[in-house]
């Protein structure tokens, strides 16, 4: 257990580790390792991160609170974007665009998602790029090779996605040319591409979040990012509501289309929409929760200032 107790301790926030790290590491060293034990420690780490100030009595400083909120909203946004790409891929088919032209609710919901997605992207860029540049500058100045390595993850993930996508397209086109229709192998290639996209998004957002968390970034930049963070969270909530209206509108107005196989890679439309909506809903809820959780502390700090 000695080997992994160091890594397990990293799951807990710094303030918690300052108080309990030694004795907790001693306890981990005494316990025989098992999957159940690791899962229990994972849950304990999550609980400590969510309730750190309640457990340790230490109030996190404003920069730390803003940082954790910005990171939570960014990660939620990446999950939302992955689901949104699924929605975009599904709704671009002719049948769905035609339904949007005939039924105002479906068309309005679709257009609202497109417009608000643009607003959210601008907000993420406005708030996130200065933080990423500051983290990169800090890593270069401090010669933090671990942080610099984290910044290569999104670049490598994007390169892998493009290379695999290009190769998959070539293989799928060859298969289609031979059989005249989309082949099962082509569908599998598409699904594997989706899997790479999802894994790449998870790895990239985790790496960038970790890089920002490990960097010395001034509170001023986090304060600057606060408005884009709130805008992003609100935009996600609006897009989730619009996606819900789009699916329910389609179900009511075009039941045959909704019950068909127009989903991702020829899967059920209803199932694809449900999965996308569920991910969007969870992501929006996480982002809003992160923003709301930060606001009382912000008010207290403003009063003290």
Partner 1 sequence: MSADLSDLGRFSDPSLLILASLAGGAKHGYAMIEDIARMSGARLGPGTLYGALARLERRGLIEPLPAEERRRPYRLTGLGAAALREQLQGLRDFAATGLQRLAAI
Q: Which of residues 19 and 298 has its CB atom nearest to partner 1 in the complex?
A: 19
The answer to the question of residue 256 lying near partner 1 (CB under 8 A) is: no
> Smallest gap, in angstroms, from Cβ of residue 35 to partner 1?
11
> How many residues of this chain bind partner 1 (CB under 8 A)?
27
Q: Tell me how far apart the alpha carbons of residues 236 and 30 are, in angstroms, rounded to a whole number.
A: 45
Stretch that binds partner 1, among 39-47, 67-75, 92-100, 162-170 (CB under 8 A): 39-47
Positive or negative: CA dihedral 170, 175, 178, 181? negative
CB of 11 to partner 1, least distance (A): 9
Rg (CA), the chain: 23
Contact 54, 18 (CB under 8 A): no
* Closer Cβ to partner 1, 35 or 180, answer by number: 35
Helix-, strand-, coil-residue percentages of the chain, each rounded to 5: 90, 0, 10
> Is residue 3 involved in binding partner 1 (CB under 8 A)?
no
**Helix locations, the chain, DSSP H:** 2-9, 14-30, 35-50, 52-56, 62-91, 94-102, 104-142, 145-179, 184-213, 219-253, 255-258, 269-304
Alpha-carbon distance of 263 to 203, in angstroms, equals 26
The CA dihedral of 59, 63, 64, 69, to the nearest 10 degrees, is 110
What residues contact residue 256 under an 8 Å CB cut-off, 6+ apart? none
- Residue of the chain from 7, 14, 43, 195 that contacts partner 1 (CB under 8 A): 43
**CB 284 within 8 Å of CB 232:** no
Of residues 216, 66, 213, the one with CA closest to residue 138: 216
**Candidate list 4, 7, 40, 301; residue touching partner 1; CB under 8 A:** 40
**Does 294 help bind partner 1 (rule: CB under 8 A)?**
no
- The helix/strand/coil state of 59 is coil
Q: Can you tell me which of 13, 16, 212, 291 binds partner 1, judged by CB under 8 A?
A: 16
Q: Which of 20, 151, 224, 289 binds partner 1 (CB under 8 A)?
A: 20
Task: Tell me which of 7, 18, 27, 191 binds partner 1, using CB under 8 A.
Answer: 27
DSSP string, 157-169: HHHHHHHHHHHHH
Least Cβ distance, residue 105 to partner 1 (angstroms): 41
Which one of 6, 14, 42, 192 is in contact with partner 1 (CB under 8 A)?
Answer: 42
User: Is residue 50 involved in binding partner 1 (CB under 8 A)?
Assistant: no
296 is a contact residue toward partner 1 (CB under 8 A): no
Q: How far is the CB of 15 from partner 1 (least distance, A)?
A: 11
18 binds partner 1 (CB under 8 A): no
Q: Which is nearer to partner 1, 27 or 162 (CB)?
A: 27
Contact pattern from residue 53 through residue 72 relative to partner 1, giving x for each residue in contact according to CB under 8 A and a dash for the rest: -xxxx---------------
Query: What DSSP string describes 181-200?
Result: S--HHHHHHHHHHHHHHHHH
In angstroms, rounded to a whole number, what is the distance separating the alpha carbons of residues 136 and 250? 45
Contact between 9 and partner 1 by CB under 8 A: the answer reads no
Residue 97 to residues 85, 110, 251, 252: CA-CA distances in angstroms? 16, 9, 15, 16
Q: Between residues 224 and 289, which has the closer beta carbon with respect to partner 1? A: 289
* Among residues 36, 141, 256, 302, the one that binds partner 1 under rule CB under 8 A: 36
Residues that bind partner 1 (CB under 8 A): 16, 19-20, 22-28, 30-31, 36-37, 39-45, 47-48, 54-57
């Amino acid at each position: 257990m000695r080997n992994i107790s160091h890594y397990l301790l990293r799951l807990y926030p710094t303030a918690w580790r300052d108080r309990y790290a030694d004795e907790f590491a001693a306890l981990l060293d005494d316990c025989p390792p098992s999957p159940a034990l690791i899962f229990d420690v994972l849950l304990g780490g999550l609980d400590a991160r969510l309730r750190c100030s309640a457990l340790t009595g230490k109030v996190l400083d404003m920069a730390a609170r803003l940082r954790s909120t910005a990171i939570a909203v960014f990660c939620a946004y990446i999950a939302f974007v992955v689901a949104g790409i699924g929605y975009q891929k599904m709704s671009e088919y002719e049948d769905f665009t035609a339904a949007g032209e005939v039924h105002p609710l479906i068309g309005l919901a679709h257009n609202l998602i497109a417009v608000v997605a643009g607003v959210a992207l601008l907000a993420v860029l406005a708030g996130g790029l200065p933080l990423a540049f500051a983290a990169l500058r800090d890593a270069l100045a401090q010669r933090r090779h671990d942080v610099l390595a984290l910044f290569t993850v999104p670049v490598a993930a994007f390169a892998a996605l493009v290379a695999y996508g290009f190769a998959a397209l070539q293989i799928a086109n060859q298969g289609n040319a031979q059989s005249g229709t989309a082949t099962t192998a082509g569908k599998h290639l598409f699904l594997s591409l989706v899997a790479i996209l999802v894994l790449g998004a998870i790895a990239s957002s985790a790496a960038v979040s970790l890089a920002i968390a490990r960097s010395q970034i001034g509170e001023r930049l986090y304060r600057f990012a606060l408005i884009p963070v709130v805008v992003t969270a609100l935009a996600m909530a609006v897009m989730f509501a619009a996606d819900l209206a789009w699916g329910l509108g389609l179900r009511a107005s075009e039941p045959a289309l909704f019950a068909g196989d127009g989903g991702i890679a020829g899967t059920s439309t209803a199932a694809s929409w449900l999965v996308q909506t569920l991910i969007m809903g969870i992501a929006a809820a996480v982002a809003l929760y992160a923003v709301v959780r930060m606001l009382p502390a912000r008010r207290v700090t403003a009063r003290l200032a």
